[in-house]
Amino acid sequence: MAKYLYLEGASGISGDMTVAALLDLGGSREKLNALFADLHSLGLHYALERKNSYSISGLDFQVFVHGKDADHTEHHEESYHENHEHHNHESHGHHEHHRHAHRHLAEVFEIVDQAKLTPRAKNLAHRIFEIIAEAEAKAHGVSKEEVHFHEVGALDSIADILAVSVLMDDLGIENTVVESLHEGSGEVLTQHGALPVPVPAVANIAATYGIALQKTSVKGEMVTPTGIAVAAHCVQKNAFPKFTKLKNRHRAGQTGFWKSEFFTGNDFD
């Protein structure tokens, strides 16, 4: 029976938040460790920590990049880096030092293809990057092959997408249900100047895949291109109305007030 991942985006969504939630759902730490062992030559490692936010327990996942360029401070771009520090419900900080990289889609695919992934996990990673590239291409008026990935092209964000792909494959998730994602407000400073929230890539993905964005009073972005691309890559619209009675729910812990659950066909009557 097909497994559905339900994303409850009350605190937005990002790549690292998704990885943490999938681990809390039972995703394989062994497979994640194997992935990062494979990525170690790129200077990547990760850390996990169980944290509490407003007395709610959740898993925190962070990717770290070490090496000669690791101390470069990345500025915001349309494609954001994915480390969300939930200082409080009103403030979502993004302060991570990592390699500054401008990569084309073909270069990103080369990194994906060199990783030791199952065919399905590799296809998932390809599709997530394609969704982001298509959204960025629309925003900049170029082809997706010409898009220069900025922060999503950085190694830590590539690692987030690879980790999501490995864990979704491990859990056997085939479809994603997203009712809405909460987004911040105001503006965010990018390399091209100040942009309104949601940034163009996020807005384009939301429009293309029919994902509702609910504006909140939080200043700054709550939804990153990587996060919404993960939500969009296998989204099933109106998936729940055909089910009538829920029997079992498999819920992850909350990370920054963000939860995910997955269901199987056997969970419904």
User: pLDDT tens for residues 68-105?
Assistant: 344 333 333 333 333 333 333 333 333 333 444 578 88
Q: Mean pLDDT throughout 265-269? A: 48
pLDDT of residue 244: 39
Q: What is the pLDDT of residue 247?
A: 45
Q: Which two tokens stand for residue 174?
A: 């085939």
Predicted confidence at residue 218, as pLDDT, reads 92
Mapping DSSP onto H, E and C, the string for the chain reads CCEEEEEEEECEECHHHHHHHHHHCCCCHHHHHHHHHHHHHHCEEEEEEEEEECCEEEEEEEEEECCCCCCCECCCCCCCCCCCEEEECCEEECCCECCCCCECHHHHHHHHHHCCCCHHHHHHHHHHHHHHHHHHHHHHCCCCCCCCECCCCCHHHHHHHHHHHHHHHHHCEEEEEEEEEEEEECEEEECCEEEECCCHHHHHHHHHHCCEEEEEEEECCCECHHHHHHHHCCECCCCHHHCCCECCCEECCCCCCCEEEEEEHHHEC
Q: What is the pLDDT of residue 76?
A: 34
Averaged pLDDT for residues 183-209: 88
Better-predicted residue by pLDDT, 234 or 204:
204
Q: Check residue 86 and give its pLDDT.
A: 35
pLDDT, residue 67, reads 60
- Mean pLDDT confidence for 19-32: 95
| Highest mean predicted confidence (pLDDT) among 46-55, 208-217, 239-248 | 208-217
Q: What is the pLDDT of residue 9?
A: 86
Domain ranges of the chain: 3-267
What pLDDT, on the 0 to 100 scale, is given for residue 93?
34
* Over residues 199-221, mean pLDDT: 92
Q: Which residues pair with 173 in a beta bridge?
A: 3
Task: Pick from 10-24, 227-241, 245-259 the range whose average pLDDT is largest.
Answer: 10-24
pLDDT band at 122 (very low <50, low <70, confident <90, very high): very high
Residue 96 CA to chain centroid, in angstroms? 16
34 versus 53: the higher-pLDDT residue is 34
Range in 139-153, 173-187, 216-230 with the lowest mean pLDDT:
139-153
Of the listed ranges 141-145, 179-183, 243-247, the one predicted with least confidence: 243-247
pLDDT at residue 171 above 70? Answer: yes
